[in-house]
Structure 1
C-alpha cells in the first residue's frame, strides 16, 4: 500500500514538473525556452502561410504533383501542431484539479450544487484565457481542421495573426538592429554605393568593348548584385581588363562590408540574448513578483528556502545587490532573476519593476567602510523610496541595530521588521533553558511542516476559536494563535469570538526531520 502511494506521489510530481516545463515553454516570456520556441513557431507560421497562399491563389502555371502533395501534407502538419499547442496552452494556464479541491475545502457541505460551483470555479481561469485576443486568434487559426471551413480562405490566412503572439522574438531582433543602427545604416549605404559605382564603371568599359551581355544599365546592376552576394551565375561576365579589375575590387570591398555587417549584428544579438538570460529586459515588465534588495546570510537563507519550495518556479523572484553574481555564496536557479546595482537608486528599483512588486525584502547588506548605523540608514532610504514608488507593497525589513526597528515600523510602514541576529540569540538562550527547543523552533519554521497562516473565511464560517479547533483537528491541524489588526493573540480561550477578517495560525501534523 505504501509503495502504491509512493508511486502515485512520484507520478503526480512528474506531471507537475512536466506541466511547469510546458508553461515555461509556451507562456513564460521571461524564460529562455520560450524565446527559442517563439522563433520555431514564427518559422512554422510563415512557411505554412506561404504554403496556403500557393494553394489558394489563382495561378497560370499548374503546380507539380509532388510539390502539391508536399504543400498539402505540410499544411496538415502545421494545422495539427497548432491544435496541440492550443490544447497544451489551455491545460497549463491553470491547475483545474487544485482549484477544484480548493473550492471544496472552503465549503464543508457536499452536495450537487457545491460540486457544480467548484467545477465552474476551476474552469473560470481557463475561460478567461480563452477570451483573450491572442487565444481567440489561436482558436480561429485551427478552425480549418474542420474541412467545411477550409473553403473560407480567411480562416486559412488568419494564422498570420499568430505572429502577434510571438512579438517578443521580433522585438529582440529589431532591438539588436536598433542598438547599432548607425553602423548598419553606414554599412548598407556603403554596399549600395559600392555596387552602383562599380556596376556603372564596368558598364561603361564593357559597353565600349562590345560586350553584348552588358546591354543595359539594369543588366550591369544585376551583375553587380549577383557578383557581390554570390559567386556569380556566369551569364554575364566582363571581358575588358578594366571591367575585370573593377569586379575584383568590388567583391573585395563588399566582402569586408558584409563581414562588418554580420559581425555587428551578431554582437548586438548576442548581447540582447545575454540581457534576456540575466533578466535585464523582462524585469521591467514583471508584476506581482518578489524583490530581494541586498545580499547577506539572511537573504541567502531566504533564497535557499525559495528554491527548495519551488516558489521561484511559480512566482518571479528578483535579487538586486551590489555583489557580483560570482561572489554570491549560493548558486541561483535559472528562474531567479539577478541584477547588479545599488537598491537605494531609483533607476535600479524601476529596472526591477518595483512599482508592480507584491513583496519586497530589504536586508542589511554590508559594504566596505560602512558602519551598522550607515547600513541601517541605507535600508531606511531604500524603504522610503520603495514605499513612494509602490504604496501598497508588502515590505519586510532587516535592521542591524535594535533601536532602529520601531522607527522602521512607524515611518516606513514595514509589515515586518527583524533585528539581525536577535532571533538567533533568543533561540540559543531558549535552548539553554529548555533543551530541544531549537529543534522544535526549526520544525515550526519549516516551509512544509511548519506554521501555516490562513484566513478564517477560507476555513468557513465559525463563531468561536473552540469551533475551529474541533473542525481543523479532524484534518490533522492544531490552531495556536489568531491574528487581528496585525496583533497576535496566542492560544486564546475556546469561547474567544472569531471575526471574519481574522487569520489563524495552524501547526500541521508531523514530526521533525
Structure 2
C-alpha cells in the first residue's frame, strides 16, 4: 500500500504528489529548516548521502550524534578538554608562562566558538511542525535558542567558557563534565544525563523552590535593612548586606558576619530561621523525588566497569529463593568466585551481602554487558515461580538464546580457555530438548527430579537420602573428571580398581567424550575409551 506525503509546512515545498512505497518514504530526509529531500539517512560525510549545505553540515555536526562529522567534532572537543586539564595542572608547576597563557586563550576561544555554533544551529522543534509568519518565526528562533542555552547542560558549558575572567579560571574544570555526558563512558545508566533530564523534566518544581527561596531572601533581607540601617550599632548598613544575611540565615550556614541588634530585627531573624527549615525540607523533598533515581542509575554501570572475571551469574532470582543461594554458598568459595544475581527489580532484603545484585533483564542482549557475561565462568538460568511452567520455560529458553547470541556476536568466547558453561532450570519436561537446542550445556528438571525422588523413596526407603547425599555438598559427592591417559582403553573394572587404590574414589560410570553418551555401572569388561569423563564418588574432586 502506498503512503501519501503531505506538504512541508515549514518551507512551503510540496512533497511528491505521487504515491511512494513505505521503504521509499523512510529514505527521505528532513533538513534542519524543515525541507524534505530524497536521499539516504541524514548523515554528513557518509557514503551515498545527499550532499548537504554548509548550514546543514553544521547542524549535523552539533545535533546529529549518528553522523560522521558529529563524531569528528566530539573527538576534537575531547582533545581540547584533555589539553585544557593538562594546562590547569601545569600552571601551578611552571607558573604563568606566556606560551601556556596563549594556548589557554586559544582553547577557550575554541570552546566559545563550539558553544556558539551549537546554539546557533539549534532548530526549535515547533518550527518543524508548525507554519508561522516571518515575524513569529523569527521570535521562535530567538526564544527557542535562548531556552536551549538555558538548559542545565548548556549552562555548565557556558560557565566553563566565562573562565576568561582571571578570578574564574577554576571553572575550566567544568569542561570535564562534557566527558560524563558521553554515552561511551556510561552505556546503561548515565547519571549526568539523568540529572540533566531530571532538571528538565521537573523544572517547574525547581523554579517554584528557587522562587520561594528568592522571595524569602528579598523580604527578610530588605526588612532587616529597613528596620536596622539607621541604628548606630547595626551591622547591616546596605540592602546587599541584608540580602546576604537573609540567604545565609535561610540556608542555616550562619557565618556570623552580620546579625540583627534590635528586638524587631531579631523577630525578623526568627521568622527567617523557621522559613529556612521549611525551605530546606522543600528542597530535600524535590531532590529526593526527582534526582535520587537519576544518580542511583550509576549502579547499573558499576559492575560492567569493574574488573570481575571468573564469576557466576544467576539469572531470574526471585524473592524467597534463598535455598539456591545457600546451596551456592556451600558449593563455591565465595571469596574466589563472586556470584552475581541478575534480575529485574531492586535487591530483595533476603539476599546476603556476599552476593552482588545487578538490576536488568537477562533476556535483552543489550543488557548482558552489565554483568560482564564474556568474562564469566558460568551462567545459571533459574525458572520463574510466579507464572505457569510453560511461561517460565519460555523465558528461560529465550534467555539462553540471548546469551548464545551475545557470545557469538562478541566472539569473546573464542579466546577463552574453557567455554562459558550454561546451566538451565526447566520446569516442564517437554521443554528439555528446546533448552538444549537453545544452547544450554546442562538442563536440570527440578520438578521432575524432586517428584521422582519422592516416588522412588516410597518404594525403596532410604534411596532418596542416599541420592541427596551424593548431589548435595557433604562428605561424598558426585564428580566428573578426565580419564588418566595410562588407563585409556582399559576395561572398566580395571580402571575402577586402579583409581580406588590410587585415589580412594569410587568410579560408577563414564561419559564418552566423542559421542557424549553416558554409561553408568557398565560391565567390568567394557573398555573405557580415551578422552572419556569418569563419573565418581569422592570427598573432593580428585581427577583434574
| TM-score range for the pair, normalised by the shorter chain length | 0.3 to 0.5
Higher relative contact order (CA 8 A, sep 6+): 1
- TM-score when scaled to structure 1? 0.47
Q: Whose helix fraction is larger, Structure 1's or Structure 2's?
A: 1
| Structure exhibiting the larger radius of gyration computed from Cα positions | 2
- TM-score when scaled to structure 2? 0.45
